[in-house]
Structures are given as C-alpha cells and as structure tokens.
Chains A and B, each alone.
Chain A
Amino acid sequence: MQMVMRHRRPEATRFAAGVFCALAGIAALIALVSPAPAGAEEANRLAFLEPEHAEIYGNVELEGTLFFQPPQFDDQRRDDVSMAIEPTLLLEWNDGDTVFTFTPFTRFDSQDDHRTHFDIRDMKIEQVSGDWAVTFGVDREFWGRTEAVHLVDIVNQTDLVEGIDGEEKLGQPLLKLSRLTGIGEFSAYYFPYFRKRTLPGPEGRLRLPLPYATERAEFETGAEEWTPAFAGRYTGVFGDVDLGLHGYWGLSRDPSFRVSRGRLLPVYSRIAQAGIDAQYTFGATLWKGEAILRQGQRNASFERELYVAATGGLEHTLYQIGGTDADLGLLLEGAYDSRGDEALTAFDNEVVGGLRLTLNDTQDTAVLLTGAVDVTDGSASVRLEAERRLTPHITAAVEAQGFFNTADDFVNRGFADDSFVRLKIKYYF
C-alpha cells in the first residue's frame, strides 16, 4: 500500500492531460494520413480542422455558507466562503455533426482544502452519423427519472463537496457508441478509468463523524483506478411512457468505508448492477420510478450483499394557481433499500415531499421546498432552493437545509448540527 505521503498532481489533472494527449494524437494522425489535395500547400492539410463554429461561455460563482450551530467536531470550521469558475469551449464541424466540448471546473474554498478542487467536467469529441453516434473523452451523462434519490445514475462519480444533494458530478472518461432504432436508443459504454468520490476534508462540515482519508482510498481490484468498467443502456418512448434499462459491470461509484486510525478509508468494490427506470406522463401528473439490483457492494457492516433498492413517486403540477402565471408542482417520492440500516445512504426507507413554485416571471423565479422523513427512525430534513435572475447576466440562488430529530447512527449523526444557509451569486458570460 502506498502509504507515503508524496506530492501528487491532482488526479483529475493527470487524467485530463492523458485524455488530451490521446485526442491530440488522434487528430495529428488523421491529419497526417489524410491525403492532401494535389498542389496544396502544407498548411491546407489541416484546413479541415478549422471549426465552423467556436464559442466560449461559462460562469463565475461566489458562494457563502452560514451554519446555524457551531461544528460538532474539533477540526471543523464554522462558516465558509468560496469561489468557482466553469468556462466552456465549444467547437463545431460538419454542420454540427462533429462537436468538441471542453469544460474545466475549479473551486477555491476558504476553509476546506478538499473542497478546493479542479475537475474536467467535459472534454469530449462527439460525432453523429445518421442513427449512429460516438462520444470519446470526458463526459457527464445523467440516467434516471426521479427527483430526490438517483439510483440508476451510475455513469458519473458524485462531486460530493459541491453539494450534499449529489446533483454535481465529476467528468467521466468514456467511449460511448450508440445507435438509434425505431424503438429507442441502444448505447454501449466503455469506462477505462475510475473517478474517486470527492469527500470533505477534516475541516469541512456535512460529513460523517470521522474524517475521510480520500487520498488513501482502497480498491478491491488490482488495477485500482484503471479498472475498466462496461455498461449498456436502452432508452425508449412508448406513447406516454419513457422507459430506460441498463446494466453495469465495474467499480461501484458508492464507496464503502473502513475505519483505520480514526479515519474513514473509502473502499471501492467491484459490482454488477441491473436497473430499470420509467416515467408515465399522465396529463399534468408524472409518475416516476427507478429500481436497481446490485451485487458486490459492501454495506455498513462491510459485508458484500445482493440488494434491491427502489424509489418512485409522482409529480403533479397545478398550472396558473389562483389565476396568476405561477405554477405549483407537488412532489411526493419514497425510497426503499432492502438493506435497511445497513445501507450506506441516508435513503434507506425515506419519504420525500416537496413543493416547486415557478413564478413564470421574466426573472424565471423558482423555489423548491422539500422535506424528507426517514420512516424507520424518524429523522427529518427540510431543504429550500430558490433562484432568481437579477440582470441578464447575473443570477442569485439561496440554498438552505435543516436537519431535525437526527438519528444517532453513524451515517446521520454527523449532520445533526449542520443546518445551513448558502447564498450563491453567479455571473454568466
């Protein structure tokens, strides 16, 4: 085991460099083998590489987080200020059939070194030829239907330090080949490299009671991060029903944890997983469901287990409430995990209800209020997300979460005093 602390480039940077070199190599190869027109000058040989469309856009974010209570653990610091930038370079060829996207992401955090991080969200070449499509590079892709718990979404690793809702993801190196047919799209994925979950450092809040040892992550495969993974996915639409099926074989995105010298070592095991996700759109009501069957994941007691997890519910929208332009969405979802308390997620037997208010004003004001209750131990949390555009280029967002009646178990206890309010100002360019 490489226990020695030595200087390492951030693994994302190293990986990005690798992918970039590969892409550049392929481009150079194509340029060299492609026959130049007779009499053409050497410079014209690369003329086809000149994009038809090039664009840079993105955003800069300033964020402040206030916690209502002092931290529970000694290393943790109370409040937090941070800044992030996410630009995108977009290049297009062949009427948009060939696209190159590059989206790096960096955050600087005043308190948590682990939250100060760099990632390549996207760096990919996409090529579409009729019913066929190929993606090569680093990409993000969402699978699933439900709002609160994302069971089938397995392509990307969660960028947990960005937000505990798990919506932010790390870029995933992949090669994807898909074909569109009359009944839907079939895709095959090859993931050559594995991304470890980002976890808060000892100074960070919203973590388990023991600090994580992210850099000492263990893999139950010899190839460690280079363990290849494969997946297949089908999505199709049948009238009012959208259906997705998938299979995955490779390292689990969800770490199990092993305690070593008072720290939590993430352990990634090899899993096989099959899942289904579906949505039925019935007028203003959306019925959603996801379910997975997973084998190989270690539970809280560090034992391998074959388990089933499912989540489902509905979203109903009341349009133009009270004669105004505002819409009110009602959310109700439940989550189930056959492992119960042994599950490493907070969502073992949970019910989530929510209200989504969309004002439909020119500032696109939207508010999402959700409450989650664990039906077995009664712990609850309430979360509020609100967003509004201030100027054509600046938006403001508020995110707040309160934890109540927190269960005194290992997974939940760490959050007991971490109710917070977070304000984000984003400038888009």
Chain B
Amino acid sequence: MPPDASHHAPDAPPANGGRALAARAAGFIVANRWLWVLSTLALIAFSAARIDQIWPPDPSARIFFAPENPDRQALDQFEARFAKDDNLMMVVVPEGGDVFTPETLAAIGALTEASWQLPLVRRVDSLTNFQHTYAEGDELIVRDLVPDPGSVTPAEAEAARAVALDRIELLDRMVSADGAVTQVLVRFMLPGADPQQEVPLIVAETREMLERVLAGHPGIEVRLTGSVMINNQFATSGKEDSANLLGPMFLVILVIVGLALRSVFATLAVFVVISLSAFAGLGALGWMGIPLNSVTVLAPLYIMTLAVASTVHILAAARQTMPETADRKEWMRRALTDHLGAIIVACVTTAIGFFSLNFSISPPFRQLGNIVGCGVLAALVLTLTLLPTLVTVLPIRRRTEPPATGVAMGRLGDWVVRRWRLLLPGMTVFAIICAGGITRIALEDDFLRYFDERYEFRQDTDFTEARLTGVNALEFALPAGEAQGINDPAYLREVEAFSAYMRGQPGVTSVATLTDTIARLNMDMHADDPAYHRLPENRDEASQYLFLYELSLGYGMDLTDQIDIDRSAMRVTVALAHVTTADMRAVTADAAAWLDANAPIIAAAWKESHPGLPQVTPTGVTHVFNIISHRDVRAMLTGTSVALVLISGVIMLALRDVRIGLISLVPNLLPAAMGFGLWGYGVGAVTLAIAVVIAGTLGIVVDDTVHFLSKYARGRRQGMSAEDAVRYAFRSVGMALLVTTIGLFGGFAVLAQSGFAVNGDLAKLTAITIVLALVADFLLLPALLIWLDKRSTTMTTRTAAVTAALVLVLAGAATLPALAETPEEKGLAIAEAADRRDLGWGSYTVEGEMVLRDSAGNESRRAFENFTYEREDPSLGDMGIIVFQRPRDIRGTGLLTHSNIEPQDDDQWLYLPAIKRVKRISSSNRTGKFVSSEFSYEDLGSQEVPDYTYRWLADEPCPTDAGLTCHVVESYPKNPKSGYSKRAAWIDTAEYRVQKIDFYNRRGDLEKTLTYAGYKEYKGQYWRPDFMRMVNHQTRKETDLVWSAYDFSAPLGESDFDQSRLPRLAR
C-alpha cells in the first residue's frame, strides 16, 4: 500500500463538503474533455486577436515615468519651455591621439556635414562648426571654428586647438583637455508619433552613415552614446533578453520537469499548457493596446515559470495514483479532487500579488503585473481543463512502482518533527539576522548602468565618461522672475556664480551656460580686450550682445534651447560622470542650498513660480530616475499591503481557519524580508525593481504555504496529532513543493541573467525569496505549527492569533520602516489620521461670533449661524451654510458652499434677503478676506486632505498646552491660486486636534497665526474648539471666532443644502 493512500480513502469525513464539491467538479472536468479542447482553441483565438499590438517594443527610457509622476510633469514642462533634447553623441577617437590634425578635422567636418542628413535632425554641433566669435576692429565676427574642414593646414589646426582648449564652452564637453577625444553632438526633434520606429531608424541610418564616412577617413574610431542610444538600448536589450533567455529557460524547465515526471509526454503536456498561458498573457496586453517594453518583454517567461508549479502538482498527484489503477480518467479525478482547491488558491493569490503591481508609479511594472496576472489565471484554467484532457489523451506510460520521492520527504518530515524544539528558535534567529541586512540596502538608479558591460553601449558610455564628458545631465531652468529678466546683470551674475559653483562639485564634468558666451561677447565687443571677459554691466548691453549674436549664428544654431520664449529663464545643463544616484541627490541638494543662500533673485523667482516646491529643483531624465525608486517604494507599500490583506483573506477563506491563515503570514512575509536582508549584505545597491518584489513574490511564495497548510489542516481534521499531520503534509506535497521550487528557482535564475539591471535584480531577488520561502515552509512553519498546536490545550485560538499577529508585526516592523516613513509620508499620515478621526459626524449646527479688531483696538462684530453637512463621498467636500444674524442690516444673508477638492473651485451661492434673490457667485477668490476679517475664504473653506502635500517636521510640546505633545506638520497647497506658500500646523498626538497654524504668504514670510482653544468632545469622538484667534503679523489686526451651541443632532438633510432651499434656511 502506498504510504500516503490514506487520503484517498473513500471514508473521508462526510463533513468535508469542499472535498465533495471538488470531487464533483473533477468528475465534470474529466467527463467533458472535448469541451476543453474547444475552449482552449477559443482562448487562443481571443488572445491572438490583438497580439499584433505588442510588437515592436517601445524604445524609450521614459516608459518608466507615468504621466502622473510629478517629476515627469516637471520634465515635460521644462522640455516645452526649452527643447526636448534627444541627442546622439558621436565620440570621435583618432588613432594618433590628437584631434587637431588636418586629417581628423577633415573627418569631423565630414561627419558634421553628413549628420545633417540624418532623419529628424534638429541641430549638429562639433568642433568644426563651433560658433567662434572675435573682434575685428569694431566689428563682431561670428564664424565656424574650422570654416573649411576639407582643406586645413597644420597651422590652422594648431590655431583651432588654441581656441578650442581655451573656451570653457568646449573644454571637457566637446573636446577633452588633452585634445585626444572630441565629439559630434547631434540633436534630434522626435515627434513621438511613432516612437517604435523613430529611434531604430535614426540608429540604423547613423550606423550606415558612419560606415560610409569613416571609409574615407581611416584611423578614426567613433563610439556612440547619448539619449538616442539609451533609448535604442532599452528596445534592443528587451529583444535580446527575450531571444537569449527563452532557450535556456525552456531547457531548465525541460530538465526539471522531465526529471520529476520521467515522462516525455507528461513534459510535453506541461509545455503546451505553459506556452498557451504565456500566449494568453501577451494576448491580454494586446487587448490593452500597449506595446512590449524592456520589462514586459520577460513577462512570458515569468508566466511559464509560474505555470509550471500548478501543472507539476497535478501530474505528481497522477503519478501517485498510477500504481493503483490503469484508468487515466481515475488518475485525473483523484488528482483534481485532491488538488483543485489548493491550485485555485495558489493561482489566485499569485495573480493578486501581480495585479497589485498596479499600485506602482512605473507603468512597465503595472503592465508586467497585468500580463503575468492574466497569464497565471489562464494557467489556472488550462491546468484544470486542458491538462487533464491531455493526460487522458496522450500515451503517458503508467508506472506501477510506488513513487520513491514520498519516502525521502517522509524522512525529512520525521527529522523536522524530532528537532522542532531546536528548529523554531534557530530559524527565528536566522530569519532576524537575515532581515537585519535590509538596513544596508541603498536605492540606486543609474539608468546608464542599467545595462551591464556586455553591451557595446555600456562600454562606449563608460569610455565617454572616462575620457570626454559626463553623459548624465541635470537640467536647471533658472527663473529670473520677469519677462526679459535674463538681461538683468544681477541675475546673470547669479547664473555665472552658480555655474562656477557647480563646476567645482564632485562628479561634474562640465556646465553649459549662456553666461560664458555673454562674457566672451563682452570681450569681443571691446576689441578682444581680456579685461572685458566678464558679464556686461547693464541690461542693454546684455540684450544687445545676445541680439547681435543670434543674428550672426549659422543655420539651426539659435538660442531657443537655452532661453525660454519670453526670456524669463535660462537653462544651465550640468553634466556628471561616474556618479551614483546618491551622489547626484547630494549634488542636487547642495545646488538648491547654494542658490537659496547666494542667488536671491533666482530663489525668489523660483518660489514665486513653484508654490509648494520651496527649493530650486533640477529636472532631466537623470533626475527623474534619481528619485523614482523612492517614490515607487512608497507607492508599492500601499500595493503590497492591499495584496497582503487580500491574499491572507483568500487563504483564510480557503482553509476555513482564521488561526492557520494568520500563522501562514509568517512564512509568507518572512522570505521577502530575509531575501532583502541577504541582498543588503551581499550587494547593497538595488534598482527600482525592489519596490515591486514583495508584492510579486508574495503571491508566489504563498503557493507553497497553501499546499502545505491545506494538507496539514486536512490531517488535523482527520484526527491526527500535530506531528502526524506535519509528517502527512511532508509526504503528500513535500516533493511537489521541492520540485516546483527548484523549477521556479531555475526559471528565475535564467531570467537573472538579463543584462538589464531592472529585470536582473527583480529576477535575482525573486529567486532568492522563493528558495527562502521553501526553507521557511519546510523548517520554520512545521515547527511553528507543532509549537502552537501543543499549546492549543491551554491556548485559545484568539491568543494564537494574537501571537501570530505579533510575530507578523515584529517582522513587518523590522522590514518596512527601513524603506518608509519619510517626513512627507509621516506628515500625510498625520493629516489622514486627523481627517479619519473626524469622519462620520453627519451634520451639525453651531453659532459663531466674529470679533474683528484693528491695530488701534477698535472692535466690530458679526454673528452668524453655521450649518455643516458631511458628504460621504470622499471625492466631494463638505457642504455648509452661513447665515448672518448681526449686524442687523445683513441679517438673513446666507452663503451656501459646496466644497470641492482642489484645484476645482467650490460652488457658492449667496442669498440676499432684501430682494429675495439667490445668486451663484464666483468662489475663485480664495485669498480674499471673509467679511473683512483676518480669515480668508481659503481659511474657512473645508480643508480636504488631498488639497495639500505634507511634511512632518518634529514632535514637540504643544504651544497651547505644554502638557500635550504636538506633531508639527507643514502643508503645501497644491492649488497655485492659494494665498500661501505653506502652513505649519501643530496637531496634538492625543486626539489629533489642530492647536495652532502658522500661515506663510507667497513670499514665504510668516503672515498670520491661528490658535485654537477650548476643545470639547461631541458625540463621544468629535472635537470642536470654542475659540479661534487669527492674528495677522503684517497688519497687526486680529479676529476672534467664538463658537457656541454646537448641535450635532439637528435634523439636517442633504436637501437642506440645495441652492433652491437656501432662502428657507437663511432667515
């Protein structure tokens, strides 16, 4: 008798209704085989219908930036103001190590000339066509540095060298200091109409052009880099990945499945199912109408790897039935009956994990999540329908000897049961030590080095950064604060000083700024007198020089990409080489601090034009990548939490056991924490892939847990002891878990070979996590189960749940804070907590009196009644009515407000009792004073959380009551029409009541302070103040707002707040 025949026994407890249902479903599946063949064909046809949408891949680095990513929006704005630069750097390396020879200059000239013929070209810059300026008498001469490169004398070449190595605009940018390397910089204007074709076309034509030109100029080597090449690399690496990895992947799966099943036809069946699943996933992408990209191109491989697990479970189960009967349908009936539930749960949880990638801010990961999620669901359907059909139809050889594997796993189970007292603490310590490495993880995104050294692009880029100039660029748009403001000498001096400061920063290779050109022009206009190599002294000179210069420039050489259209901002491009993301963030922060301290015009103009963003921030593709991981980690924390809750819910539902569901959280979450930790010890730096790893792997590692726990739970229900149930679980699913884990590890190990770091890191982390998950399932979970069940005589389910939750919280506490809780998040969390505590009050009325006091102490009063109604839909603000009682002449005047979320204006109606008229009024006047008080309309309007961005500053004793602790949170209004640059609020930690708010005006000065007093609690949870005092520090006026007679039980309905009812309430 096979060792695990017990669970096939027909005398299974009748109470097990799920199993009876599974048996019925299994019977139905096996009986309708041809139906499944037909439905599979239908699935293939459906998937194929739009499959043409996904090819060719999208060749752009910008696919990682979603349109709603604020950094992307800043980049788009910058490019709209100046130019969208897609450049191609043709780095020219002459054999002799000297650029300034007649031969090399001729080659550069020829390259420059030929580059103008490339498609979509906007501008070509090189040493030869550099716009050299000098004075000839009183005249300003602007000409190409090498006017006729075809026939240069050695003397002319030397003259060019003298000029080029002297000009800061060229040095370390167009030519290296030793004169050994130069570049031809080609800029393109990509219309973006057909991104999949534009870049490959340019690259193909460039290569052809190079071949043609260089044939006539031997001894010249040209290396290619720049954003066009990066984009091209994104496309080609995706194609190469899919081509290079597909073969090894199939091989790995073939070997593992073949060894496990020892059957050619069973392996074939597996291949059919996983291939169709991958095809269905791609079909889903086609229906979404999105082309593949460098990340999603690997999605089919993910799907295949994941789909193997389910098929192996079915086939392994079939293998266990083989010795008993030759009836193939019976193999499948039993396999399905036993594993149907577990496979459904496993696939659904995997799909949930991947679908949760939709929370990512990076579209490729959302798409990856959707493709894999759909593919896994397709795999589920196919495993349950097509696979049984194939098994019954294909001539799979029956094996009569009992499967040996159960024996080995039985031994492992025995060992675990014997040693559980050692394993439990041992594994716990091991897990904690592993997870400790998380602190060593650094988020690094250098998109130039997403591609490893095997790629020619990477080699060329490294060469360029080592020998010529940096390829990474931070773009600063420095505002002057007014149109034509760039001609202001004070502003120009700030820009010049900033450029000089940046040139001294570590990693900076060059700074491109127009002030260099202006200084040079000043000298040229003064007969090349070096004493005048400085910025002009007055506005008119600066503007005249630029005007003259522009008039004299050659074709395609205008200044529109340096100065914006109304001449209110200048662009400074800082090129950096061999710097990490952290370095660049430091450079960015230093630059902002320097500008704040040393460039008052620029800093003030920036604050004026960027409310909510107090410091000058650069942009550029590099900058967006610099902070994308930080943003995505935060976004995915939500996604991961949602996935965790959903997946845990599915497990509890499937196992019908809350306790076991809670226990399952430990082996589900721990592997990811341990995996990150090991990565932290071993590698440290990680790309933006990290954000999506937990969510993605969660769904996968859950499978093992579900299979193990469902068998354990069944054993316990059949009356086994905890130890026997563990042994039973090992015997029945241990081998399948081992095989699938090896298969998954093999698959992801292949994917990890991708030369594209985002894919490579994702696959490596996933592979590590999956292995650790098996370790946790085999060594920690059984020990935990035995320990908890031993204690079950004294321990209620409730305390077990608490224990498990505690373990989870501890594990979570160890992992998450390292990646989370920036001041911005904490600020938002406080605002949300305060908002949450103030939900559900429904409606209330209150009487208010305003006492307006001017600086001389003269008082004037207004009394009113206030009605407020809370709208449940969080996308709508609250509704309120203010009805004035005094002064008597405005008695009955009513103001009805329907608040909207910023930046949409509120809806407001005014009721004038004298003429009985309801009038819709404009509410765009946020900064205006409400009835001439110090409260603006903005201050009194309903404050919704999404109206602001937040930043937590500190916790300190409350200014109103030193006995309380207050969070100090700054909030920055999102609406540019706001009268404030920021508000600083003191919110007590006890009840989240606002105690004090400082209002800073748009110039950043402290304008007003609002203090709250006399908080009372209503309806047992809602706190309202009796007294508010707003003091205007600028005018020394103040307004007290005294509240009385709060009534939360007033019978107000939504209809009372309709504009047609306003005359009735206002009386």
Contact = CB atoms under 8 A, between A and B. Distances in A.
Given A99-B1067, A101-B1067, A283-B924, 16 more contacts: A59-B889, A96-B1065, A130-B1055, A133-B1064, A140-B916, A169-B916, A185-B1060, A284-B922, A319-B925, A319-B927, A319-B928, A320-B925, A325-B929, A389-B887, A389-B889, A393-B887
Nearest to B1056: A128
Interface string A124-164: 00101011010000001110010000000000000000000
A207 interface: no
B925 A131 contact: no
A281 B915 contact: no
B1058 A142 contact: no
Contacts of A128: 1061, 1064
Contact of B925 (A145, A327, A395): A327
Given A180-B1055, A281-B922, A364 B890 contact: yes
Interface string B878-921: 00000000111111000000000000010100000001111111
Interface of B: 852, 854, 860-861, 886-891, 905, 907, 915-922, 924-925, 927-929, 931-932, 1050-1051, 1053, 1055, 1058-1061, 1064-1065, 1067
Given A283-B922, A317-B922, A393-B888, A185 B1058 contact: yes
Contacts of B860: 362, 392
A214 interface: no
B665 to A, nearest CB: 45
Given A142-B915, A325-B929, A327-B928, A286 B1064 contact: no
Nearest to B1061: A180
A68 interface: no
A373 to B, nearest CB: 25
Interface string A272-289: 000000010101111000
B920 A281 contact: yes
* Chain A contact surface mostly: strand
Nearest to A184: B1060
Contact of B917 (A142, A327, A364): A142
Contacts of B852: 362
A102 B925 CA distance: 37
A92 B861 CA distance: 26
Contact of B889 (A141, A145, A395): A395
Interface of A: 57, 59, 90, 95-96, 99, 101, 126, 128, 130-131, 133, 140-142, 145, 167, 169, 178, 180, 184-185, 235, 237, 240, 242, 279, 281, 283-286, 317, 319-320, 325, 327, 360-362, 364, 389, 392-393, 395, 426, 428-429
A57 B914 CA distance: 13
B927 A286 contact: no
B916 A130 contact: no
Contact of A95 (B891, B1051, B1058): B1051
B856 to A, nearest CB: 12
Contacts of A283: 905, 922, 924
Nearest to A283: B924
Contacts of B1050: 95
Contact of B932 (A59, A362, A392, A393): A362
Nearest to A101: B1067
B1067 A130 contact: no
A98 B917 CA distance: 21
Contacts, number: 105
Contacts of A99: 1064, 1067
Nearest to B923: A281
Contacts of A167: 915
A395 B891 CA distance: 13
9 nearest A-B pairs in the assembled complex, by CB-CB distance: A428-B888, A185-B1060, A362-B860, A142-B917, A319-B925, A283-B924, A284-B924, A392-B887, A284-B922
16 contacts: A59-B888, A95-B1050, A95-B1051, A99-B1064, A167-B915, A185-B1060, A235-B1059, A235-B1060, A240-B907, A285-B922, A286-B921, A319-B928, A360-B932, A389-B889, A392-B860, A393-B888
B1053 A130 contact: yes
Contact of B861 (A141, A320, A392): A392
A87 to B, nearest CB: 12
A164 to B, nearest CB: 15
A428 B887 contact: yes
Nearest to B853: A362
A141 B916 CA distance: 6
A279 B920 contact: yes
A317 B925 contact: yes
Contact of A392 (B886, B922, B1053): B886
A332 to B, nearest CB: 16
Contacts of A95: 1050-1051
Given A128-B1064, A185-B1060, A360 B929 contact: yes
B316 to A, nearest CB: 59
A167 B1065 CA distance: 23
B928 A360 contact: yes
A208 to B, nearest CB: 25
B932 A325 contact: yes
A57 B891 contact: yes
Contacts of A426: 889
Nearest to B1059: A237
B306 to A, nearest CB: 47
B700 to A, nearest CB: 47
B635 to A, nearest CB: 31
Contacts of B887: 389, 392-393, 428
Contacts of A392: 860-861, 886-888
B2 to A, nearest CB: 68
Given A180-B1060, A362-B932, A320 B889 contact: no
Contacts of B919: 145
